[in-house]
Amino acid sequence: MQQTHRTGPGPGASGRPRVADNGRRFYLEIGRGIRWPACLLAAALASGAAPAAVASAVAAQQEAVATAAAPPSMVASMAAAVRQSAQRLAPRQRILLDEGWRFHLGDPEGAGDAYLYDIRPQVTASADGKVADAVPEEAARVAASARQVLKPWILPSGNAFIADAAKRYQRPAGEPAIDAPFARAGFDDGAWKAVRLPHDWAIEGPFLASGPYGGMGRLKTWGPAWYRKTVRLDATDAGKSIFLDVDGAMAYASVWVNGRLAGGWPYGYNGFRIDLTPYLKAGADNQLAIRLDNTPESARWYPGAGLYRNVWLTKTAPLHVGQWGVKVTTPEVSPEAARVAWQVRLENAGKVPAMADVVTELFALDEQGRPGAAAVASSTSARTAVAPGAGIDVAGAARLPKPRLWGPLPNQKPNRYLARVTVRQDGRVVDRYETPFGIRSLRFDPDSGLVVNGEKVPLRGVNNHHDLGALGAAFNVRAAERQLQMLQEMGVNALRMSHNPPDPQLLELTDRMGIVVMDEVFDSWQRKKTPLDFHLIFPDWHEQDLRAMLRRDRNHPSIVMWSVGNEVGEQYTGEEGAAIGRELVAIAHQEDATRPATSAMNWAKADMPLPATMDVISLNYQGTGIRTLPGQFPAFRARFPDKVILHTESASALSSRGAYQFPVPGVASAAVRPGSGGDPATKQVSAYELFAADFGSSADRAFGALDQNPYTAGEFVWTGFDYLGEPTPYYDARSSYSGIIDLAGFKKDRYYLYQSRWRPELPMAHILPHWTWPERVGQVTPVHVFTSGDEAELFVNGKSQGRQKKAPYAYRLRWDYVNYEPGEVTVVAYRDGREWARSSVRTAGEAALLQAEADRAVIAGDGRDLAFVTVRVADKDGRTSPRASQRVRFKVEGAGELVATDNGDPTDLEAFPSPERAAFNGLVLGIVRARPGAQGDITVRASAPGLREAVVKVRAVRGED
C-alpha cells in the first residue's frame, strides 16, 4: 500500500507540518507492500532538506501507521527510527514544549522573598476606580537593601539587545545563595497539577466578589507560580547550541535548569530566549523549571498569569542564524518589479573560527502558507569568517519581476513570500532558517494618511487587549481568528496592539488576513500608572524590550508603524520626558528604518516637546475633545503640517448588550450618569449607544470629528471587544463596557453603526431596541436605525412614523417619539432615492425553547481547535427572547469537552469553567474543544428548566481531514 501526502514544507495556518519531497519518489519497503516515505530522510542526507520536511517524515510515518496493516512491533520500531533519523539530520530543530508540564502555585514553604527579582515598593493600600486618563505619578523611591535579589543573574539575559557592548551585564560568579528544591531534578512533583501550555492559571477563578481589583478583572493573577518539565536530550545533541524560547510568561520569569539559574526576563508580554547550553546534559533527562512572580497592582486591566504563550526548545549547530536573525525589507516596489533585501545575523557559539556560506532563497506562499516547489529568486553570499563567540551580519538582495504584493483587504490581497536561509560550513548544511514576509510599499502622507502600494488606506481600526474573554490570556489561534473574522465583517482593516507586544501567532493571522497593525511595546515609561507596573523595570530594560519586539516582528508585512508608548506620564515632564521619547524613537529607527514610530498621547498639546519627537501624531480622544476641552486636530495640524495625524484611541463608548434604559436623552453623546445611560443598581449601561466614558464620546461624535478634519488618517476605536478588567464606570464588575462586541463575542448594536460607516457599499439596516416591552404599552420608546443608506422610513405595525434623511455629520436616524405597541417594527432604507435595505423586529412571546448553533461544523481533534456554540432562548416561533435570563446547562458528549461558558454580562461573577450559566438578554455561549487526539462526533446539549433542549453536533477530525 502506497501512502500519498500533501506537499509544502512549511506549516500552514493550522501549524501542523506537511510533507515536502520536492518531487522525489523514494520509499523504503518494509513488507506486505507497505511503503514508507524514506525519501524525506534521503533528501535530507543529500541536500540538507528544510527542517519542516524532515519533521514531516514523522508526520507521514504516523499517517501510515493509522492505515497500514503492519505488525505493531514493526510500526513502533519504524516510528522510533524515523524520529531518531529526523533528529540527527535536521540542521535546526524547533520543538514545541507545550505538553507534560507540572504546575504549582506558591514557593517552597518558608522561602519568603528569596526568589525576588528586585526589591519592590511597599503597597500600603489598594483601590479601584481611578479614571483611565489620570495623571501618571512619579516612581516611588525604594530604600537600599542588603537582601540578595536575582536581578544580577537575570539582567545578562537581555545582553543581545543592548547596542553598546560596554553597557552589557556580566553574570556574577557562582550561583545565587538559594536552596531551590522546586528546581532540582530529584524533587517529586507528582502531586502538582498536570497542565498543557499555553496556560493561564488565573482565568479559572473564582472571581473576587469584594474589595478592589475590578481594574484587573476581579481575578487573582498575582503570586509566585512554578512550572516543571523533564526534557530528554539525545546523545547526538552533544556539541549543539540549545535555547529555550518563550513567547510570553507573566511575569518576572526565572528559568532554572538542573537546579541552576540559567536566566530570565521580567516583562511579561515580550518573547525571550535563554541559552540552556551550559546547563544541559546530552543523552540524559534534564529538569527544566520556570518560576513566575506576577505582582498585584501591576496593570490597569487583566494581565493574565502563567506560561500563557507557547514555549519552544531550539537546537542549532554552534554556527547558526541568531535569534530573529533574518531581516527582510523591500526598498523598491512597483507592479513591474521589486527589490527584496535581507540581512542575516550569523552567530558562532563554537570555540574556533567558522567559514560560512549563506544561500538565501525566496519562495511565493499560497493562501495556506505553503511555499511553491521552486524558488522565485536565490542568492549566495561571499564566504564569510565568523570568529568564535562572535556574530556578523551578511547582506544580500534579489530583484523580482511582477511581484505579488501584500496589501490590506478588501481592495488588495495579502500575498506573502518566504525567505529560506541555508548556512553551510565546510560544505555541510549546519542551519536553515525560514521567515515569511510581504512585498509592499508604505507611504505616510500628511493629507492622505497611510498609503499602501499607492492606494490610500483609511484606518478603520480597533484596539484590543490581549485576553480572549473566557479563555483568559492563554493564546488560542482559533479564538483570535474568530475575533478578527468578526471585526473584518464589520469593516475593520486595522488593529492596534494595546498596550504590549502580542503573541506572534496573532501577527501571523493579521499577515494572512490582510489587516494592518500598529505594534505597541509599553503602557508606561518611568512614571507609574499602578504601583507595580512596568515603570519599576523601565530604566534597566526599555532598550532590551523594545529591540526584542522590533526584531521579532519586523518581517510581518501587516505592521505599518511602531508605537513606543501609550499615554505615558512623560507627557507631563517637558523636555525630560521628550528625551526619553527621542531615545525610543531612535532605537526604532536603528532596528527598522522602513516604518514610522509614534506614541499615543492623551494630554500633550501641540506646543509641548514630546509630540515633536514622534514621526506620527497619535491622539487618544484629544482629536474629538476630552470632557470640556475642544478637539485638538486643528492645533496639531497647524503645528505639524508635514506629519500624519490619527486617532489611536477614539470614542470609548460604553454599553451593555441588549440592556436599554429609558428615558433616552436627545443628545448625540453623553457621559454615563445615574439615570442617564447608567443604572447603578444593575451596573449596566444603556445599549442605545449614546454614552461614553467621561474622557470619551459616542461613536457618532468621533465620526464627526474625523469627517470635519479630513486630513486625519483614521481611527482605532476603543475597543473592538470587551475585555477583562477596567470596567468603567462600575468597578464592581469583571469586564469593560467599551467593546463593540461583548466579552462572549456577541455583537452589540454599535457593531452595526460601525458597519454602516466602514462598509458603505453593503446594503444593511439595523433597528434598536428590541420590541418586547410589555410594561411600556403606550409609552414613548425611541427607535434608532443604523444604515448604510442615506434615508429611511419607519413603520410600526404598518403605520409610517415618517421618512428621514441623514443630516450633515449625523450617522444614525432617530424616531424619538414612537409609542410602544406590541407587534412589528420595520425600516425601509433608501440610497439615492432607491430602496437599499430593509429590516424588521417583532415582539417575542414567552420563552419556550433553546436554539443552539456552532460557529463551525468541523474542528481539528488536536485539543486546541475550538467550536463556539451560541445558545438562544426563544419563544415557540423561534424568536429570540431578548430579555431572557434562564440558567442554561451545557453537557458535552463524545469526542469533546467543555472549556468555558460566558454570556457577555460584565457583572457576571460565575467562574468561566462553570457548565451552567444564566443567559444575558437571551444569549449564552459554550466553548468546546476535542480531547487531544480524539476523532468523531461531539454532541453539545443545552438545557434549561421548562424549556425545550437544544442539541448541536460538531465533528472532530484528525490532522488535515
Burial category of 935 from C-beta neighbours within 10 Å (exposed 0-12, middle 13-18, buried 19 and up)? middle
Closest CA to 530 of 232, 127, 893: 127
Give me the DSSP letters along 387-450.
Answer: -TTEEEEEEEEEEEES---B--TTTS-B-EEEEEEEEEETTEEEEEEEEEE----EEEETTTEE
Per-residue pLDDT reduced to its tens digit, 149-197: 999 999 999 999 999 999 999 999 999 989 899 999 999 999 999 999 9
The residue that leads in pLDDT, 62 or 726, is 726
What letter would DSSP give residue 931?
P
Cα of 836 vs its chain's centroid, Å: 37
Question: What one-letter code names the amino acid at 779?
Answer: Q
Catalytic sites, residue numbers? 567, 649
Report the b/e string of 703-737 with b at 16+ CB within 10 A: bbbbeebebbbbbbbbbbbbbbbbbbbbbbbbbbb
Report whether pLDDT(147) > 90. Answer: no
Cα angle 54, 57, 60 (rounded to 5 degrees) comes to 150
Q: For residue 79, what pLDDT band results from cuts at 50, 70 and 90?
A: low
Does the bond joining 206 to the residue before it have cis omega, within 30 degrees of 0? yes
Rounded CA-CA distance 654/723 in Å is 12
* 529 has a pLDDT exceeding 80: yes
Strand partners, 406: 414
Which is more confidently placed, 127 or 52?
127
CA distance 418 to 434: 7
For residue 42, pLDDT beyond 50? no
* 731 — pLDDT class (breaks 50, 70, 90): very high
Q: What count of other Cβ atoms lies within 10 Å of the Cβ of residue 495?
A: 29
pLDDT at 430 over 90: yes
Q: Quick one: pLDDT at residue 931?
A: 95
From the list 638, 771, 628, 760, the residue with the least C-alpha distance to 703 is 760
Sorting pLDDT into bands at 50, 70 and 90, what band is 34? very low
312 burial (CB, 10 Å; 0-12 / 13-18 / 19+) is: middle
User: Length of the chain, please?
Assistant: 961
Query: Hey, CA dihedral for 183, 189, 192, 197, is it positive or negative?
Result: positive
Please check whether residue 453 is in contact with residue 407, taking contact to mean a CB–CB distance below 8 angstroms. Answer: yes
Name the burial class of residue 147, with classes exposed (0-12), middle (13-18) and buried (19+) by CB atoms within 10 angstroms of its CB: exposed
Q: What confidence score (pLDDT) does residue 749 get?
A: 98
How many CB atoms sit inside 10 A of residue 961's CB?
Answer: 10
The C-alpha cell that represents 505 in the structure block = 501567532
- Residue 521 CA to residue 478 CA, distance in Å, equals 24
Write the DSSP assignment of 855-889 as a string of letters. Answer: S-SEEESSSS-EEEEEEEEE-TTS-B-TT---EEE
Q: Which of 505, 436, 497 is nearest to 477 (CA)?
A: 505
Instruction: Show Cβ contacts of residue 783 under 8 Å, excluding neighbours closer than 6 positions.
Output: 767, 768, 769, 794, 796, 801, 814, 815, 818, 825
Distance CA 140, CA 527 (A): 9
Rounded to whole angstroms, the Cα distance separating 642 from 345 reads 36
Give the C-alpha separation, 133 to 604, whole Å.
12
pLDDT tens-digit series, residues 893-923: 999 999 999 999 999 999 999 999 999 999 9
Which are the contacts of 608, defined by CB distance < 8 A and separation ≥ 6? 571, 574, 578
CB-facing half-sphere around the CA of 216: CA atoms within 13 A: 26
Tens-digit pLDDT profile for residues 554-568 = 999 999 999 999 999
0.85 exceeded by the pTM?
A: yes
Q: What is the pLDDT of residue 596?
A: 98
CA distance 600 to 614: 10
Q: What pLDDT does residue 21 have?
A: 33
- Separation between Cα atoms, residue 419 and residue 340, nearest integer Å: 10
**Pairing state of beta strands 849-854 and 866-874?**
antiparallel
Residue 46, pLDDT > 80, answer: no
Contact 60, 46 (CB under 8 A): no
What's residue 80's pLDDT?
55
Cell numbers for 27: 520509499
Query: What integer is the mean pLDDT of 711-732?
Result: 97
Q: Report the C-alpha gap between 487 and 484 in whole angstroms.
A: 5
Angle CA 676–678–683, to nearest 5:
165
SS (H, E, C) 285-329: EEEEEEEEEECCCCCCCCCCCECCCCEEEEEECCEEEEEEEEEEE
Q: Can you tell me the distance from the alpha carbon of 341 to that of 331, in angstroms, rounded to the nearest whole number?
A: 7
For residues 26-47, one letter each, b for 16 or more C-beta atoms within 10 angstroms of the residue's C-beta and e for the rest, the string is eeeebeeebbbbbbbbbbbeee
Which residues fall within 8 angstroms of residue 577, CB to CB, at 6 or more apart?
525, 568, 569, 570, 571, 609, 610
> What is the C-alpha to C-alpha distance for residues 282 and 437, in angstroms, rounded to an integer?
35
Q: For residue 39, give Cα distances in angstroms to 19, 25, 42, 92, 372.
A: 10, 6, 5, 19, 19
Each residue of 614-648: pLDDT tens digit? 999 999 999 999 988 899 999 999 999 999 999 99
Q: How confident is the model at residue 135 (pLDDT cuts 50, 70, 90)?
A: confident
At 760-786, the pLDDT tens digits run 999 999 999 999 999 999 999 999 999
pLDDT at res. 38: 44
344-369 pLDDT, tens digit each:
999 999 999 999 999 999 999 999 99
What are the grid coordinates assigned to 453, written together?
502600494
pLDDT digits (tens, 9 = 90+) for 85-114: 555 556 899 999 999 999 999 999 888 788
The grid cell for 299 is 496593570
Assigned C-alpha cell, 537: 523595570
Pairing of strands 272-275, 241-246: antiparallel
CB 41 within 8 A of CB 86: yes
CA distances from 938 to 196, 317, 860, 873, 953 (A): 21, 45, 12, 22, 6
State whether residue 70 is helix, strand or coil: coil
The model's confidence at residue 28, banded by pLDDT at 50, 70 and 90, is very low
DSSP per position, 120-151: ------------TTPPPBPPPP-----S--SH
DSSP label of 278: G
